[in-house]
Amino acid sequence: MTGAGAAGAPGDRVATLLAEAAGRLAANDQGGERSDAELLLAHVLGVGRTTILAHPEAPVGADAAAAFRALIVRRAAGEPVAYLRGVREFHGLAIACDPRALVPRPETELLVEHALAHLRARLAAAPRPPGTPPLRVVDIGTGTGAIAIAVADGLRRRGALAEVAVVAVDRSPDALALATENVVAHGLADAISLRPGDLLATEPPLPVPLDLVCANLPYVATGDLRPAPDATAWEPRLALDGGPDGLDAVRRLIAALPAQLGPAGRALLEIGADQGPAALAAAAALAPGLTARTHADLAGRTRLLDLAGPGA
């Protein structure tokens, strides 16, 4: 095992290091301490987590043990595991993560599933002879680029990547730089174009009409933002703070949709579990021509606002 060669202090074995770390993390009440410790030890040793689990008695070298303990100190203070490892799995893809953008959440995979289902249905609905223009897909507030990349990758796996043109937008130059790195790493630089912008107002302007708008905007109410040691305290505020009731950016996007969404277009906006009624009311008030509904995840928690054009 990498890093296991040098003689460590007596007792520096996989199992004992993990137990020590889990105890330290539990004392700070982080939750998920065991799996965090496993991920971080695997990261330090350059192996997969299953290797760690399969070799509890393996000795760990002094340098690796010291590096691991340093990461556990940072994790105990609240720093997200994804930032410590520099990567997070999202929709089966390794997405590079750092404080330039929000860490992709597993719950956002629901948005990707709905996006892919919609695109599959659109592509299957009518013949697409050569020369048919690609469907226009945008990911607003792309952050790491995770949604745009997962959607494009999902289409690539079905041989349908050429049928879409994806634009990923963020108002944070830092996020766009990280998203660019991820797009390139996933071999999607020709499929996804990245551009700065405030919601649908981008430079250069978005191609209209849009066929699918995906958005994981900031939707946490300012008063609900949690201080360290909560992991979100390490993430960009711009990606989380949605104003007094959390829906400032969501409302602005809803209001901008009717002018740019095509008649058969759809918009999928991630929202908080308790925001369904307020999001539906905002849709009725700001985009009465669109049909609005919400979707819940498998646990029954509201996750998505879904807006459809009159022909969708």
Interface ranges with ligand GLN (CB under 6 A): 105, 216, 218-220, 232, 240, 270
Nearer to ligand GLN, 79 or 270 (CB): 270
> Which residue bears the tokens 């995906």?
214
In the complex, the smallest distance separating the C-beta of residue 269 from ligand GLN, rounded to whole angstroms, is 10
Give the Cβ contact number of residue 236 at 10 Å: 17
Nearer to ligand GLN, 63 or 274 (CB): 274
Nearer to ligand GLN, 140 or 194 (CB): 140
Question: For the residues of 195-263, what is the DSSP string, one character each?
Answer: EEEETTEESSPPPSSEEEEEE----B-GGGPPPTTSGGGGS-GGGTB--TTS-HHHHHHHHHHHHHEEE
Distance CA 15, CA 58 (A): 8
Quick one: tokens of 23? 């105890």
Distance CA 60, CA 6 (A): 8
In the complex, the smallest distance separating the C-beta of residue 291 from ligand GLN, rounded to whole angstroms, is 23
Nearer to ligand GLN, 59 or 218 (CB): 218
On the CB side of 118, CA atoms within 13 Å amount to 25
In the complex, the smallest distance separating the C-beta of residue 144 from ligand GLN, rounded to whole angstroms, is 12
Alpha helix segments (H runs only) across the chain: 14-27, 33-45, 49-54, 62-76, 81-85, 109-125, 146-157, 173-185, 248-260, 276-286
In the complex, the smallest distance separating the C-beta of residue 36 from ligand GLN, rounded to whole angstroms, is 17
Nearer to ligand GLN, 20 or 224 (CB): 224
Nearer to ligand GLN, 155 or 168 (CB): 168
Nearer to ligand GLN, 164 or 250 (CB): 250
Which residues partner with 215 through β-bridges?
140, 269
Distance of CA 116 to the CA centre of its chain: 16
**Distance in Å from the first CA to the final CA of the chain:** 54
On the CB side of 134, CA atoms within 13 Å amount to 16
Nearer to ligand GLN, 19 or 233 (CB): 233
In the complex, the smallest distance separating the C-beta of residue 33 from ligand GLN, rounded to whole angstroms, is 19
**Pick from 285, 221, 216, 209: which is nearest to 247 by CA?**
221
In the complex, the smallest distance separating the C-beta of residue 255 from ligand GLN, rounded to whole angstroms, is 19
In the complex, the smallest distance separating the C-beta of residue 26 from ligand GLN, rounded to whole angstroms, is 22
In the complex, the smallest distance separating the C-beta of residue 181 from ligand GLN, rounded to whole angstroms, is 21
